[in-house]
Chains A and B, each alone.
Chain A
Amino acid sequence: MIRFDGVGHAFGPRIVLEGINLTLSEHRIGVVGANGSGKSTLARMINGLVEPSTGTVTFDGLDVSRHGRVVRRQVGFIFTDPDTQIVMPTVREDIAFTLRREKLPAPVAARRITDIIDRFGLGEHADHPAHLLSGGQKQLLALASVMVAEPAVLIADEPTTLLDARNAAMIGRLLSTLEQQVIVVTHQLELVESFDRVLVIDNGRVVADDLPRPALEHYRALLA
């Protein structure tokens, strides 16, 4: 369970988030908001990529600021641009890179890598150069590289923004089938329409926290 208690964050004099009190326990949670509203900062706080200026963020009772290392093993994160997440030259090697920290026996690691490659339909590209994949395939690889570590939670920060409609739909379908708790920050509202809960962030505050339909209506009204 993820908890925000009186969380605020400021970059210098600019307040990005303030007065955030949340308990996130639903299976699929969407976070929507305009550019600069603070939604990406909120997502990054969950695994300690950004530390709160005030208040605390906890994951399963652990203060993320103090136990970031432990939390990051449980909370996977995928970013908007998969190019900046891919480290190794080929698909298989990049997925294997995630498991280096796990120090698993080689046969166990190899089986997990093969399983995730098959599950994400990357089999025919397994030994291909990662930088030559299409945008959709790169995002699939980024997702596979995170999921191979079997995190308890996956956070996706605008994972479909750089993708065409077909690839965006494919990534959306994949995210909705994951067993893990999934928190998706997005501008593509259809991506979170079937979620369990949607948060609307505006000017650093949670202005709506509801089921998708009323929350997205509130957001559309804000945009109007």
Chain B
Amino acid sequence: MIGLYFPGTSLIHRMRPGWKLAVLALTVGFAFTLHRPWQVGAALLGLIALFAVARIPWRIGLAQLRPLLWVVPFIVIFQLIFATWEVALTSTGILLFNVGLASLLTLTTTVTDILNVCQALLRPFHRFGLDPDRVGLMLALTIRCIPLVAGIVTDVTQARKARGVTGIRGSTLALAAPAVIRALRTADALGEALRARGVDD
């Protein structure tokens, strides 16, 4: 979500975000009904075709699956020990398929469009006191804060290194305290900037 969007004009890019989310939900549900390796193989081939239709470079497509590299070996080993190679193959394939499909959504849909859909879906709950705009803003800020906080932690870590503290030497508190203080200051500044931009008026 953090700037994953890959600009384009393909059929999938132009599809309505609400439809994309609905198709994603249905297809993910359908994927769990697949039990044969050939079925999962066909689904993965279909997914590759969708990436091709969206004209997503294969490097960017594969990069979305990189976080799974830590999980997949455990799943495969676990399934091989407690089930069969077929189960190991299908469950891993379904996981890759679902993550790939979700990535295709974020690569071809802007965060604004996803937030608009979320806000539209939450609109009926307005009568119960839920403010969809506020929820949308909260989601946007959550997404925005990930690179901000990551930047703060990097700065604090580098400041520690510059002062000769490396690795896990030095207390966790010495890393956490300045990071939390800077994060709180950043949150204050962000709040002030939002007010200046007329949010929450």
Query: How big is the A interface, by class?
Result: 20 to 34
Which of A49, A84, A98, A146 gathers the greatest number of chain B CB atoms within 10 Å? A84
> Is A129 among interface residues, defined by CB-CB distance under 8 A?
yes
Q: Which residues of B contact A92 (CB under 8 A)?
A: 110
Q: Are B199 and A101 in contact (CB under 8 A)?
A: yes
Known A127-B5, A127-B7; contact A88-B198, beta-carbon cutoff 8 A: no
* Shortest distance between the CB of B120 and any CB in chain A (Å): 14
Cα–Cα distance between A146 and B189 once the two chains are bound (Å): 16
Residue of B nearest to A146 (CB): B197
Q: Are A81 and B189 in contact (CB under 8 A)?
A: yes
**Residues 93-144 of B at the A interface (beta carbon under 8 Å):** 110-112, 140-141, 143-144
Q: Which of A72, A129, A130 contacts B201 (CB 8 A)?
A: A72
Known A84-B186, A130-B3; contact A49-B148, beta-carbon cutoff 8 A: no
Cα–Cα distance between A98 and B110 once the two chains are bound (Å): 16
Q: Are A85 and B3 in contact (CB under 8 A)?
A: no
Cα–Cα distance between A68 and B197 once the two chains are bound (Å): 12
Mask: chain A, 67-86; 1 = CB below 8 Å from B; 0 = not: 01100110011010101111
Query: How big is the B interface, by class?
Result: 20 to 34
> Is B65 among interface residues, defined by CB-CB distance under 8 A?
no
> Is B147 among interface residues, defined by CB-CB distance under 8 A?
yes
Give the tally of cross-chain contacts (CB within 8 A). Answer: 87
> Is A160 among interface residues, defined by CB-CB distance under 8 A?
no
Which of B7, B190, B193, B195 gathers the greatest number of chain A CB atoms within 10 Å? B193
Cα–Cα distance between A17 and B189 once the two chains are bound (Å): 21
Q: Are A101 and B198 in contact (CB under 8 A)?
A: yes
Say what secondary structure dominates the interface of chain B: helix
Residue of B nearest to A131 (CB): B147
Q: Are B195 and A93 in contact (CB under 8 A)?
A: no
Residue of B nearest to A157 (CB): B196
> Is A29 among interface residues, defined by CB-CB distance under 8 A?
no
> Is A128 among interface residues, defined by CB-CB distance under 8 A?
yes
Q: Are A86 and B189 in contact (CB under 8 A)?
A: no
Q: Are A83 and B197 in contact (CB under 8 A)?
A: no
> Is B194 among interface residues, defined by CB-CB distance under 8 A?
yes
Q: Are B189 and A84 in contact (CB under 8 A)?
A: yes
Q: Which of A49, A128, A131, A146 contacts B195 (CB 8 A)?
A: A49
Cα–Cα distance between A49 and B198 once the two chains are bound (Å): 11
* Shortest distance between the CB of A68 and any CB in chain B (Å): 7
> Is A96 among interface residues, defined by CB-CB distance under 8 A?
yes
Cα–Cα distance between A97 and B144 once the two chains are bound (Å): 13
Q: Which of B1, B151, B195, B196 contacts A89 (CB 8 A)?
A: B1
Residue of B nearest to A151 (CB): B198
Kindly list the 8 A-B residue pairs having the minimum CB-CB distance in the complex, ordered from nearest: A129-B3, A84-B189, A127-B7, A77-B196, A69-B201, A131-B147, A85-B193, A93-B112
Binding site for B on A (CB under 8 A): 47, 49, 68-69, 72-73, 76-77, 79, 81, 83-90, 92-93, 96-98, 101, 127-132, 145-146, 149
Taking A69-B201, A81-B189 as given, write out 8 further A-B residue pairs in contact, using a Cβ cutoff of 8 Å, ordered by the A residue number. A49-B195, A85-B193, A87-B144, A90-B110, A127-B7, A130-B3, A131-B147, A149-B198
